[in-house]
Amino acid sequence: MPALRIRTFTVLCFFFILSLPWIFYVTAHFIETKTFRFSTPDENLQRHVTETIHTIETNADNWTDAN
């Protein structure tokens, strides 16, 4: 097996170090969502989140009320 030149070895190590976090990120994302699709939340989900935040913010004065 021929020896690697130091520049080739450095470039390969640099590529490996930069790609390793992405491999873990994509693997964790696939385990959680069972898909490789990276997308933003759809409008329906965003509407529900906005409504929930609005409900929480409007009833902030009742947080200390035991009832």
63, pLDDT greater than 80: no
Angle at 66 between CA 65 and CA 67, to 5 degrees: 90
pLDDT tens-digit map of 23-56: 999 899 889 888 877 666 677 788 888 898 888 8
Identity of residue 15: F
pLDDT tens-digit map of 14-25: 999 999 999 999
Phi-psi region for residue 48, left (φ > 0), alpha (ψ -120 to 50) or beta? Answer: alpha
pTM: 0.46
